Amino acid sequence: MNQRKKIGETKDVSFILNQIVNLTNGHLRFMEVCGTHTVSIFRSGVRSVLPKEIELISGPGCPVCVTPVGEIDRAIALARLPNVTLVTFGDLMRVSGTSSSLNQERAMGRDIRIITSPLDPLEIAMSEPQKKVIFFAVGFETTAGAIAAAVKEAKRRGIKNLYILSSQRLIPPAIKALISLNNIKIDGFILPGHVSVIIGKTPYSFIAHEFSIMGVITGFEALDILEGIYMLMRQKTEGRSEIEIQYTRAVKDEGNRLAQEVIEEVFEPFNATWRGLGMIPQSGLMLREEFREMDAAFAFDIPYEEKADPPGCLCGEILQGIKKPPDCPLFNTRCTPEDPVGPCMVSSEGSCAAFHKYEDFE
């Protein structure tokens, strides 16, 4: 029985940790690019049981966190228009724009609502045909399929008062940009499980082929993460740089073809701006020409404008992995979960929020 199979069958934490310790030889930095991984790593105390030579750093894995100030400002401007209902997911409500937030705008009487499903905007638009309903859609590939299906369904039903303000992002181009920035040495990636259920393994191949960096698509339990780290350690020891799948119970090499097809049918990539990473070619999703009448960016005359992050906020550098939450002068002083300044403290998947909740930083 080979080692890989034995670990998969035993699911024994002590055994996996012993294997990691035995393979540790020098300092290694592994980055997770998934907010759910970030929270799981903090919550389960994975860092505390690893050899000190293994450093885990958080990357741009939180969709709310990477949404730039300019897009928040554009959503606020749309919400201020007459006869508009703006709907979005809950975490976005407290993210600050230049001078306001969606929460503040709602408190001043703007019709801004929290949704829990991409299908909710359709029901709102159908029940209130006199309103222009704008769905501020933020997310990665994980939610893109459901949002694309909602767009198709709205077109099928002939809903004319629903618009999409797409702030969706694609993970592989962001990883490529992050590596190319060369601000930090990354020895391997703990790759996102949810995103990979949709896109599979192939879109990450450039990480190994172009940059000779290893990666493992990993599940979200502490044991999954430890096994993913062990698989990275084995690659390092054996001199390999490959993309492997630890999360085999959910992720196939080819991903979810049906989801990929509906995303491709409705959306096309475009050059999008990320907080902390700047403009990344072909990293965003916009509606294709045949769905353009539903695109809020085209239907309303409010262009996107680049805006600076809040003064003193280091969220952009934290998203790159070059800073950690306590390095920010605002962390736990002016910026707290109760009164956040930057999105990394707002979102439940943000590094600052996770660090504040689970780490001893006193």
Is there a contact between 267 and 148 (Cβ–Cβ < 8 Å)? yes
Q: Alpha-carbon distance 146 to 62, whole Å?
A: 18
> Tens digit of pLDDT for each residue in 267-318?
999 999 999 999 999 999 999 999 999 999 999 988 889 999 999 999 999 9
Lowest model confidence (mean pLDDT) among 4-18, 52-66, 291-305: 4-18
Domain that holds residue 342: 315-352
Are residues 197 and 344 located together in one domain of the fold?
no
Are residues 203 and 243 located together in one domain of the fold?
yes
Domain-embedded: residue 279: yes
> Tens digit of pLDDT for each residue in 160-194?
999 999 999 999 999 999 999 877 899 999 999 99
Burial of 229 (0-12, 13-18, 19+ CB in 10 A): buried
What CATH number is given to the structural domain containing 68?
3.40.50.11740
Domain total in the chain = 2
Domain-embedded: residue 225: yes
Are residues 251 and 319 located together in one domain of the fold?
no
Q: Average pLDDT, stretch 316-331?
A: 94
* Vertex 18 angle, CA 17 and 22, to 5°: 120
Are residues 67 and 205 located together in one domain of the fold?
yes
User: Residue 359: what pLDDT?
Assistant: 82
Are residues 348 and 207 located together in one domain of the fold?
no
> Tens digit of pLDDT for each residue in 209-253?
999 999 999 999 999 999 999 999 999 999 999 999 999 999 999
Which residues neighbour 8 within 8 Å (Cβ) at sequence distance 6 or greater? 227
Domain-embedded: residue 185: yes
Q: Please state the pTM of the whole predicted model.
A: 0.92
Are residues 257 and 278 located together in one domain of the fold?
yes
Burial of 4 (0-12, 13-18, 19+ CB in 10 A): middle
Domain-embedded: residue 149: yes
Domain-embedded: residue 277: yes
Are residues 158 and 218 located together in one domain of the fold?
yes
Domain-embedded: residue 357: no
Distances in Å between the Cα of 236 and the Cα atoms of 147, 192, 213, 230, 348 are 39, 20, 9, 10, 32
Are residues 335 and 230 located together in one domain of the fold?
no
Are residues 31 and 177 located together in one domain of the fold?
yes
Are residues 239 and 286 located together in one domain of the fold?
yes
Are residues 333 and 274 located together in one domain of the fold?
no
Are residues 102 and 186 located together in one domain of the fold?
yes
Domain-embedded: residue 110: yes
Element (H, E) at 274: strand 267-274
Q: Is 164 helix (H, G, I), strand (E, B) or coil?
A: strand
Domain-embedded: residue 10: yes
Q: Alpha-carbon distance 101 to 99, whole Å?
A: 7
